[in-house]
Chain A
Amino acid sequence: MTEIPAVIRAEGVNKVFTVKNADPVIALKDIHLDVKRGEFVSLIGPSGCGKSTLLRLIADLLQPTSGEMVINGKTPVQARLDRDYGMVFQAATLYDWRNVGKNVQLPLEIMGIDKAEREKRAAEMLELVELGKFAKHYPWQLSGGMQQRVAIARALAFQPALLLMDEPFGALDEFTRERMNLELLRIWHATQTTVVFVTHSIAEAVFLSSRVVVMSPRPGRITAVLDVDLPYPRNFETRELPRYFELVTHVRELLRDAHTFDE
């Protein structure tokens, strides 16, 4: 039997932070997760349940305390060195001294791609996030939503097959966020990228994902995985489907069950 190879495979991953003068924090406990090519997987859970930590383990920005993490059949270090993934953080983290176009070119510059190609790709990516006219602007001249779109264009610039996003729209207002969700789905569709998306918005997770991974804190663990069978293309009407409401309610219940009120 041939299977679609997993882009991400976590097997029994644990992460413990040792903190000076305090008890160690079990950030992740016994994580098992398979993400297949082309999936859009959301990690949802209350803050402190280890979503960012899991994403950082995938990105090799942290190393697991125990357990195994495999990315594209390689170790996370190798995957990082091979530039297998693009990452978008909660804050846009653009470089103020570079204009928008140059910010998008940054990863290409680091990878030693020549200037003509860099400029061409940056222009394409800015077009994709509908900021084609803003290449010469500086980050501080843009709104928060626009900055985040630049960060997405930057992450996509080197066409990684895997996109890791840590609450990329967390700081945006509801309207902008809904527009950005549509845009992200369009980009996901156009680029056929695998996406792992961290959020604490139930609506966002259900709307965007093909699969929702529900997590709970203390210790951080996966408590449920839910397939989202909403039809594509998803648009404003998707949010009005009875099935959408059912799924939102279901995820809410899963989160409630998972959350032990131990405080």
Chain B
Amino acid sequence: MTKSFERLRYYLPTIVVAVAVLALWEVLVTVLNIQQFILPKPTQIAGRFFEEVNLFVTGQGSILFQAAGATFYEALGGFILGCGSGILVALVTARWTVLSEAMMPFAIAANSVPIIAFAPIMNNWFGLTNPVSKMTIVAIIVFFPTMINTVRGLTLIDPRQLELMRSYAASDLKILRALRIPNAVPYIFSALRVASPLSMIGAVVAEFFGGPRATLGVFITQEASGFNFDRAWAAIVIASLIGIAFYAIIVFAERRLAPWGTREAG
């Protein structure tokens, strides 16, 4: 009882701000008589959104939900591919400190390159409608932050903890398993937290350069050019919801699997 009350108190400011912004948006669009192709009202977007939900739930088929599924598939595929290989490369190079130290500047430089600019090239390589072209872009985008953070987690270790291992005459492999890898877990999760919404963004933006009709990026471009702005906005809403849910799942997994890294945040 008191606990849920406290929770409410904690989230109340956020809820109030959200409601206020939406209300202000609605009022301003109405009062200033803003055209729907510039900015539709929240109620209009919500109406369109629930129309699609209705189509989807009643089994009549919603192209928007189909598009959301396809885009999420690309994002998830790229996420697993990119983060997985980022962690793997970090683990392999961390065995040879010199190698990972030599690679770090390149990784950091590569991380600041706008990788999304390669999207048209990937479309050429793998085919415009092949989900692999979007997965590759997403994978490259999330690879670098994941690799960099994992290397940090494997190498930034309290020297006293390393001394302890030395005092046990522990082999490098045992130090890796008992100390370096667990030490890296919170670092990896913090990379995954960044990578999860990034993979959605990467997939949607890559689709702006072309792809099958039933993907969010293509859907948004086509509806916007057809002046169906409420439909475009409904697609943006769904892309945001997926991004947030993806992020929330990572945070939840982190609390379950690595509570020692998050306990301060609580």
Chain A residues 83-101 with CB under 8 Å of chain B are 83, 85-87, 89, 91, 93, 95-98
Are the C-beta atoms of A140 and B263 separated by less than 8 Å? yes
A198 within 8 A of B: no
A140: nearest residue on chain B (CB-CB)? B263
Tell me the nearest residue of chain B to A93, going by C-beta.
B160
How many residues from B make CB contacts under 8 Å with A? 20
Q: Is the CB–CB distance between B163 and A110 below 8 Å? A: no
- Distance in Å: Cβ of A46 to nearest Cβ of chain B: 22
Give chain B residues whose Cβ lies under 8 Å from the Cβ of A107: 168
Evaluate contact between B185 and A97: CB separation under 8 angstroms. yes
- Nearest Cβ on chain B to A100's Cβ, whole angstroms: 13
Check A4 for interface membership: any CB of B closer than 8 A.
no
Given the known inter-chain contacts A110-B165, A111-B168, please indicate yes or no for A95 contacting B160, CB distance below 8 A.
Answer: no
Look across to chain B and name the residue whose beta carbon is closest to the beta carbon of A95: B182
Answer whether residue A61 sits at the interface, using C-beta atoms and an 8 A cutoff.
yes
B127-165: CB near A (< 8 Å → 1, else 0) gives 000000000000000000000000000000010110111
Check A138 against B160 for contact (C-beta < 8 Å).
no
Residues of B with C-beta under 8 A to A86: 167
Give the residue of B158, B167, B182, B263 whose beta carbon is less than 8 angstroms from that of A61: B167
User: Once the chains are docked, how many angstroms separate the CA of A50 from the CA of B121?
Assistant: 63
Residue of B158, B166, B258 with most chain A CB atoms under a 10 A cut-off: B166
B22 within 8 A of A: no
**B178 pairs with A109, CB closer than 8 A:** yes
Given known contacts A83-B168, A110-B168, A111-B168, is B161 in contact with A93 (CB within 8 Å)? yes
Chain B hits for A83, CB < 8 A? 168-169
A80 adjacent to B260 (CB under 8 Å) = no
CB < 8 Å neighbour of B161 from A59, A61, A85, A95: A95
Query: B170 near A: Cβ within 8 Å?
Result: yes
Question: In the bound complex, how far is the Cα of B162 from the Cα of A61, in angstroms?
Answer: 10
Of A81, A106, A138, which is within 8 A of B260 by CB?
A: A138
CA distance A97 to B153 in the complex (A): 14
Which of B's residues lie within 8 Å of A, judged by CB? Answer: 158, 160-161, 163-170, 174, 178-179, 182, 185, 258-260, 263
Q: With A61-B167, A83-B168, A86-B167 given, name 5 new contacts (CB 8 A).
A: A59-B167, A80-B167, A87-B163, A107-B168, A138-B259
